């Protein structure tokens, strides 16, 4: 068994070379790394889920993400697992479940998240906007996406944020 830092370094290095591998080879290499950890290691289970997700196997990814979360995945990987699980569920035709997961994730108090987790708040909003659009809630989706975009603009921040909020109260077509 290797130490955590060494394992994390090798996992990160493999992800940096994702495009250098055929999908099955990449999944096998992640599985080899995961096998170095206990079978119930949530980080190893998550990495296998992400490998399946990134190589076009969302059904397999969903099961692994859920298992990693059930095993007590924490920190940045937990937040990534929720985002990636929700995205995979949306892609598999379950946008309502995606909305549930991401709405709950979005509601977490900022003081419960570290800086790296907070940095993914825009990703939570972006994937929630996609799921909302898939459920026919287009105005909410647009409002969320524009609200997330507003702080990133060099100008018009206040105006765009105001218009994003107004989408939720204005009648359709105005």
pLDDT digits (tens, 9 = 90+) for 141-163: 999 999 888 888 888 988 998 99
pLDDT at 174: 47
Specify the DSSP element, H or E, that contains 13: helix 4-16
**What one-character DSSP code corresponds to residue 155?**
S
Instruction: Give one word for 173, left, alpha or beta, with left for phi > 0 and alpha for psi -120 to 50.
Output: left
Instruction: Give pTM, 2 decimals.
Output: 0.90
147-150, Cβ contacts within 8 angstroms, sequence gap of 24 or more: 148/122
Max CA pair span of the chain:
62
Low-confidence residues of the chain, pLDDT below 50? 174
Amino acid 152: pLDDT: 87
């Amino acid at each position: 068994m290797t130490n955590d830092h060494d394992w994390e370094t090798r996992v990160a290095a493999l992800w940096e070379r994702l495009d250098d591998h055929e999908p099955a080879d990449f999944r096998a290499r992640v599985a080899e790394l995961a096998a170095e950890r206990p079978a119930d290691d949530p980080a190893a289970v998550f990495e296998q889920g992400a490998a399946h997700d990134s190589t076009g196997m969302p059904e397999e990814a969903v099961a692994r993400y859920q298992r990693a979360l059930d095993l007590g995945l924490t920190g940045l990987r937990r937040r990534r697992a929720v985002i990636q699980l929700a995205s995979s569920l949306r892609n598999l035709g379950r946008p309502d479940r995606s909305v549930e997961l991401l709405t709950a994730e979005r509601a977490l108090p900022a003081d419960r998240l570290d800086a790296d987790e907070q940095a993914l708040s825009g990703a939570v909003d972006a994937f929630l906007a996609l799921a909302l659009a898939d459920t026919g809630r287009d105005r909410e989706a647009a409002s969320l996406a524009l609200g997330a975009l507003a702080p990133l603009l060099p100008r018009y921040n206040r105006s765009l944020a105001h218009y994003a909020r107004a989408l939720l109260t204005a009648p359709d077509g105005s």
